[in-house]
Amino acid sequence: MIKKVEVRRRLALYEKKLKEERQSIIAEMDRMSEACTTLAMKRIWQNSKEYLELVTRLTTLNEVSMDIIDIRCDEMFADEF
């Protein structure tokens, strides 16, 4: 039982870190998007290497978050049976 509590605590910590990192990435994307004053600048930003890296990181973090949710659900179903 102690191991389950520890796993749940660690998952919660990971979720918190993921949420903070996602918020940081979204804030950076918003900041850069707001700095673009024309559609041409916005297109350049959205086609840039930096934008692609941020989108890739955000996608990866979202996938990891979904995996954590799956782990939690699996654990809850295992506890019921």
Per-residue pLDDT for the chain (81 aa), expressed as one digit of tens each?
567 788 888 888 999 999 999 999 999 999 999 999 999 999 999 999 999 999 999 999 999 999 988 888 877 666 665
CB–CB of 65/59 below 8 Å? no
Rounded-to-integer distance, Cα 17 and Cα 19, Å: 5
Rounded-to-integer distance, Cα 66 and Cα 60, Å: 10
pLDDT for 80:
60
Rounded-to-integer distance, Cα 21 and Cα 23, Å: 5
The 3-class secondary structure across 8-26, one letter per residue, is HHHHHHHHHHHHHHHHHHH
